[in-house]
Structure 1
Amino acid sequence: MSKLARLLPLDYRRRRLHRRAPPGPLRDFLATPFADTHQDYREADYVALDLETSGLDCHTDHILSIGHVSLQARRVLLGTARHILLKTPATLESANVGIHRLTDDMLAGGQTLTMALHALLPELAGKVLIAHHAQVEISFLQAACQQVFGAEWLMPVVDTQYLAQRRLDRRHAVYQPAALRLASLREAHHLPRYPAHHALSDAIATAELFLAETARMDTERIALTKLLYPQ
């Protein structure tokens, strides 16, 4: 996408992408208006999402698992929690097995990328995505939609790492990059420890961190646009 296009409002960009998308789940997703970015952030519906991937390059690596859970009215709706394993096009390296605790046998019974996107996109429609270090989720979802549908994916995103970094920078705080990790920020907010590198537990952990990071905003109206990660 050109730098000029990135200056356009998100919902205008959605409408342009909708016109170009082929019939199917991605076109249906893009047919749903995005959340009004001028409304108070508490009025929007969210879905916290985490992807576990075989690496960080969306062009050469692939998605191993997807975890997501919805939020509404500042509540995490645990009944909406989903964990999806995906079939992989290549044998996992030992480092992947050690980090994600997923094996080739486990993923062999997983969904195809097409099946996973058909299930995921309706869950995302009309909501705001929450992710930690969101550029990973954004790049892999964009690449996946290009691969499966031949068209571009887009939605409003809140990055909890970006929120925390801005908060610390406003205070002129001195911190190490490691302080912006999901586990470190949860510890700073006195949130419980969860197992790392599991897509669903990381999605829930990110949802709770979002609530903790925004808790101080509860006494004032904050437009959703002020929380969004720039895309």
Structure 2
Amino acid sequence: MATWLAQLAEWYQRRLQLQKRWTEQRYVALDIETTGLDPNKHQVLSIAWMSITPPVMHTGSAQYHVFSHGQDLDLGQSPTIHGLTEHDFIHSSEPRQTFAMLSRALTDAVLVCHHKGMDWRFLKHIEKQYCVKFKPLGIFDTLAFEKNTNFTDSQNPPAKGQLTLSACRKRYNLPEYHSHHAFTDTLACAELFLAQAFKNKDQDIKTLQLLKKCGFVI
């Protein structure tokens, strides 16, 4: 009974927090680079995150970490993977400490990512693997937001490539970043989020209403 009441109280406090104007909220943009799409089979190579208090992106306090998983990684025929070279893996971060830092960063913040399906799936796997908890207030998915606001005609769905991070940024006249790298993609995602949210006609919109435009509230 006590546990149920604690969970109810936590849910209620989260909902109260989400009733704040979206500009009064703290956000954390995040990008994860992995060896594949399945967290049960593939590994996290690098991760980056950055806090945002609209309209400010706190680039100076952003975090970027690479993981070697205690072994030499074979890059095959390519000298790089996700913008990483073999030299980058020499300076590997300790996963448990890194994810504990991320857990603290996400507490009482809204997670911002481009394509929540993959990032959230890996984060949930990390929770089990390293006994940490990620409890953002909600998730703002820049891909889902773009799809739900600019491609509402079911008879004319977005064509292949129209919802990539780069393609979405072009619609807001944001600069093109050529490198595919966790920190660069985090920065790109943070910029896109601010462009999307500030383009909204109702600047007094509540955080919960903004998240519903992505169709994903925890």
TM-score band, normalised by shorter chain: 0.7 to 0.9
1:103 is the counterpart of 2:89: no
* TM-score between both structures, scaled by the size of structure 2: 0.82
Conserved in 2, the CA contact under 8 Å of 1:38 and 1:225?
yes
What is the Cα deviation at residue 197 of structure 1? 2.1
Alignment partner of 1:208 out of 191, 196, 200: 191
Structure 2 residue runs without a partner (length 5+): 1-5
**Which whole-Å deviations, capped at 9, do the CAs of 1:7-47 have from their partners, x for residues lacking one?**
xxxx947949xxxxxxxxxxxxxxx9687122221111001
Number of equivalences: 205
Runs of 4+ deviating beyond 6 Å? none
Conserved in 2, the CA contact under 8 Å of 1:45 and 1:127?
yes
Identical-pair percentage: 25
**Matches of 1:41 and 1:188, distance apart in 2:** 22
SS in 2 for 1:36: helix
Conserved in 2, the CA contact under 8 Å of 1:67 and 1:82?
yes
Task: Mark the CA change 1:190 to 1:13 in structure 2 (over 3 Å): closer, same or farther.
Answer: farther
Aligned runs of 1:38-57 on 2, under 5 Å? 38-57=19-38
What is the Cα deviation at residue 68 of structure 1? 1.2
Conserved in 1, the CA contact under 8 Å of 2:83 and 2:179?
no
The code of the aligned residue for 1:120 comes to L
For the aligned residues, what is the CA RMSD? 2.7
**Which whole-Å deviations, capped at 9, do the CAs of 1:164-220 have from their partners, x for residues lacking one?**
000123366653131100001111111001134211110010010011111222544
Structure 1 residue runs without a partner (length 5+): 1-10, 17-31
What is the Cα deviation at residue 51 of structure 1? 0.7
Aligned twin of 1:81: 62
1:122 is the counterpart of 2:108: no
Task: Mark the CA change 1:125 to 1:185 in structure 2 (over 3 Å): closer, same or farther.
Answer: same
1:184 is the counterpart of 2:167: yes
